[in-house]
Amino acid sequence: MKPLVAVVGRPNVGKSTFFNRMIGERLAIVEDMPGTTRDRLYGDTDWNGRVFTLIDTGGLELGSGIPVGQVGLTGQPGDLMEHVMSQAHLAIEEADVIVFMVDARSGITASDEEVADLLRRTKKPVIVAANKADNAARRMDAVEFYSFGLGEPIVISSIQGVGTGDLLDRIVEEL
Ligand code: GDP
Ligand code: MG
């Protein structure tokens, strides 16, 4: 079986954009609305000759039955954050490498902290990817993600394709 690499993180940080860039647009759906990917999506890819399966864990983020606007402590609708956390638990069980994606434009949110608390408890390799670092100022801002205690954040822009090679280098180092 190929090694599994799961991309986890709260909705709207750019998980599907990264996944689509790696796998091709036929599999994941990305829209401007947060959370339109309904299920976990699996796609095979390779980097420097290493083949692995990438998992986009965003799913069931819409149509979960929760009234719009009902927001929990973390600023995300309750079911939505539960889903993020259950996907993170699943990633810890199933994946060989976990990519924890965050948003360099918004900075750290309470939802990010909740995911980070969980990921700090696994012995599996976790790579922090600070996405949406589209310019020099955003790349500088990304140092704040060191505070998760999960190692050096890899700064990327999934839209521009900048830094994604560095992220893939880090991923295959851990396979
Ligand atoms: P997901 O919910 O984590 O899967 O996030 P999506 O991939 O659906 O992206 C959410 C939004 O962020 C979309 O509007 C994307 O176009 C946007 N986005 C994703 N990556 C980047 C990036 O590198 N830079 C910027 N500026 N926007 C991005
Ligand atoms: Mg998504």
Ligand 1 and 37: CB distance under 6 A: yes
Evaluate whether 11 touches 20 at the Cβ level (below 8 Å).
no
Residue to substitute in 27, 30, 64, 156 for testing ligand 1 pocket (most ligand atoms within 8 angstroms of CB): 30
Strand 50-56 and strand 41-47: pairing?
Answer: antiparallel
Residue-wise pLDDT for 133-154, tens only, equals 999 999 999 999 999 999 999 9
β-partners of residue 53 are 4, 44
Cβ neighbours for 140, distance < 8 A, ≥ 6 positions apart: none
Evaluate whether 28 touches 16 at the Cβ level (below 8 Å).
yes
> How much is the pLDDT for 60?
41
Residue-wise pLDDT for 57-67, tens only, equals 875 444 334 34
Evaluate whether 134 touches 159 at the Cβ level (below 8 Å).
yes
Say what the ipTM of the complex is: 0.99
- pTM confidence score: 0.88
> How much is the pLDDT for 68?
40
For domain 4-174, is the CATH number 3.40.50.1100? no
Residue-wise pLDDT for 80-115, tens only, equals 788 889 889 989 999 999 999 999 999 999 999 999
User: Residue 111 Cα, ligand 1 centroid: separation in angstroms?
Assistant: 17
